[in-house]
Structure 1
Amino acid sequence: MSDDDLFGGLAKFGLSNYEIKVYKTLLLKGPNTPTGTVKIAGIPQPRIYDLFSSLQEKGFVDTVTGKKHLYRAVPVSIVLRRQVAWMDNYVNSLEEYVEKYRETEDVKEPYIWFVKGNKNVEDRMKSMFYSARDEIILSLSKQSFLNMSGFISRTIKKGITIALVLFSDSSADVIEKVPKGTILKIRDQKPLEMMMVDRSYILSNLKSGVENSDYSIYLEEDQLMHVLSYYFLYNIWQPSEYRYYPDNGGFYYRFTTIWLACDVIDYYLRLGIKVKGQLSGIYKNNRINITGIIKRVERINGVKQSFFIESSNGNFSVGGKSAILEDVKMLDLEISRL
């Protein structure tokens, strides 16, 4: 990303082009006088005091008075996080208002939505990172990974599980940039990009699989989610090779997708590691919470992906949200070393 693109993003926080130039100058060159700032930033002299005044009101600049006025940039970590906190509160307030006053039911229709344009696709993927609660499963091209690596790192630090597939376009030096804690697989084929969040949202970048396509499909409907999730399992995940295995230390993972949960649990059990599970699911049409020891995994391609948990209330077989052969339909699961 060029300097212009990087600092140009400040326009989304309400800064004009001239204000961005002033803020950038103070960030990189340190505190300065109006005259000194004009010389470096290359802006018209008559505008400088108005620009400083506006930046002060927006919280981007501080000043000190004395024999001469000095201005300094408020650190990025302070001013932008304050803006983000405001945005989070605004989003929550707006969603609460919509939930209270909307006139239609929140029914997920089996629609496939199209997201057009690479920039819009990337922005949608970034927003999906923010919406994640438990788990993200994704496959990315080299460039998309480089654009998203910061989001992956921050998401892992929140305790959210990241399972990632990279492809042959990602060289060894790129793979080294994968954040610690990622469950990583490598596939020797042309990149095919998909992203699934909490088994609730899925985006598939058609440009990576269809020539001359400039759009992605995005959906939330449960049955279509089920189909695409297993498409990912059989066509991307299973044919790929592990590069970064699940952590063997004091591991902790959260899942909403049964086949990924089974894959990771099976890995630990094969190593002789005892696994504790905290499960939320549906049992005989009622919500149930189970804490216990996961004893084994049973996987038959095209038939079932399930595990067995032993608790003080009995032994239960657990499948996915669409399970019909098991006792419990898994909604979400946390696992840790016993």
Structure 2
Amino acid sequence: MATVLCDTVSMQRDAERLLKEEFKLNSYESRIYIALLKRGMNSKEVSSAAGVPLPRVYDTLRSLSEKGFVEQIGGVYEPILPSIAIESRISKLKATFEEEHAHRGNAKKTLVELLQPTYKRRPEKSQDPVLLKGLDSTGNRLLSILTSSKDVIFLVRKAIKVKEALKRYLELAPLGGKRVRIILPRQARLTKDDLELTKKLGIELAWYDNPILDMMVADEVDVMLGVPEPTNEEDPFSAIVIWIRNEAFARSTREALEEVWNSSSRSP
């Protein structure tokens, strides 16, 4: 009996967590919906069964009804079948996301028009190395470099583990008329979607035995070097990237990567 009760409590806790985290119900909504699954109830019974204060039961039931989890039949509130309620909720969240995405796109256009003229571009001269940490800061700098460069070579090692994130930045970058080459480790296996995307973007691929680190050179200006943290070498998300803007260093780095490219195979 105790085991069954423990399993029930654990199930309810997991269900509440998923309803809140994945389907955007609040605590009261989650508890009331789960309580109603046992049987239909009036508002006072709901308060007692779900442990929700009666004054909050009314607005919570109204919210659940609007979200497609509950319906009122006479004075009794009945739950919608979970498979139907959750599928409907997914559809609603998807529509909301698409609407928000469209609004953000319009906001982006307005902000770029307002703020872009105020940006003062740095001169293309040597500067001290800059440490970038995390995918966001690294990705934003990469996007900026890709936007202003014409010929870019990547040497990939551990970055293959975060290829989905890197693909997003490559898709965002204006690559038309540019030459972008990626040298992959021999053991790397790309999916059909990966290959279709690189073909669509006009990216050239090659495979090389045992690349020593993650590296990128853009024109003869920018170099990015991936340096895993000693404390967490196997986690690519914790890597530090060093960005160097130095023409002499970029030129020598490009020469080295051109040699690697020329000695690489064009198939795995």
TM-score by length of 2: 0.51
CA shift for structure 1 position 183: 1.1
Partner residue of 2:116? 92
Determine whether 1:183 maps to 2:204.
Answer: yes
Determine whether 1:159 maps to 2:177.
Answer: yes
- Higher helix proportion, which one? 2
Determine whether 1:139 maps to 2:164.
Answer: no
Partner residue of 1:79? 103
1:6-57 Cα distance to aligned partner (Å, 9 max, x none): xxxxxxxxxxx99x949xxxxxxxxxx96545566xxxxxxxxxxxxxxxxx
Q: Work out whether residues 184 and 242 of structure 1, in 8 Å CA contact, stay in contact via their aligned partners in 2.
A: yes
In the alignment, which of 236, 250, 253 is matched to residue 225 of structure 1? 250
Give the SS at the match of 2:263.
coil
1:224–1:110: structure 2 CA closer, same or farther, 3 Å change rule? farther
Give the whole-Å Cα distance in 1 for the aligned partners of 2:212 and 2:128. Answer: 26
1:188-228 Cα distance to aligned partner (Å, 9 max, x none): 22463222334332211122999949422112221121122
Give the SS at the match of 1:203.
strand
1:223-255 Cα distance to aligned partner (Å, 9 max, x none): 121122222223x323311249xxxxxxxxxxx
Partner residue of 1:111? 128
Give the SS at the match of 1:242.
coil
Give the whole-Å Cα distance in 1 for the aligned partners of 2:148 and 2:113. Answer: 17
Query: Equivalences for 1:169-318 in 2 at 5 Å?
Result: 169-173=187-191, 176=195, 178-180=197-199, 181-190=202-211, 192-207=213-228, 212=233, 214-234=239-259, 236-243=260-267
Q: Tell me, which stretches of 5 or more residues in structure 2 are unaligned?
A: 1-19, 26-61, 70-94
Given residue 225 of structure 2, which amino acid in structure 1 is its aligned partner?
Answer: S
Give the whole-Å Cα distance in 1 for the aligned partners of 2:229 and 2:213. Answer: 5
How well do the aligned residues superpose, as a CA RMSD in angstroms?
A: 4.0
Give the whole-Å Cα distance in 2 for the aligned partners of 1:228 and 1:137. Answer: 10
1:190–1:232: structure 2 CA closer, same or farther, 3 Å change rule? closer
Give the whole-Å Cα distance in 2 for the aligned partners of 1:209 and 1:89. Answer: 43
- Higher strand proportion, which one? 1
1:138-184 Cα distance to aligned partner (Å, 9 max, x none): 22332233322233345466333221111134214376355212111
Give the whole-Å Cα distance in 1 for the aligned partners of 2:67 and 2:117. Answer: 41
Give the whole-Å Cα distance in 2 for the aligned partners of 1:233 and 1:125. Answer: 20
Q: Work out whether residues 163 and 183 of structure 1, in 8 Å CA contact, stay in contact via their aligned partners in 2.
A: yes
Give the whole-Å Cα distance in 2 for the aligned partners of 1:209 and 1:188. Answer: 23
Give the SS at the match of 1:179.
helix
Q: Work out whether residues 215 and 223 of structure 2, in 8 Å CA contact, stay in contact via their aligned partners in 1.
A: yes
Give the whole-Å Cα distance in 2 for the aligned partners of 1:191 and 1:83. Answer: 42
More divergent stretch after superposition (148-157 vs 187-196) = 148-157
1:216–1:35: structure 2 CA closer, same or farther, 3 Å change rule? same
Q: Work out whether residues 130 and 244 of structure 2, in 8 Å CA contact, stay in contact via their aligned partners in 1.
A: yes
Partner residue of 1:308? none
Give the whole-Å Cα distance in 1 for the aligned partners of 2:258 and 2:176. Answer: 25
Partner residue of 1:318? none
1:123–1:39: structure 2 CA closer, same or farther, 3 Å change rule? farther
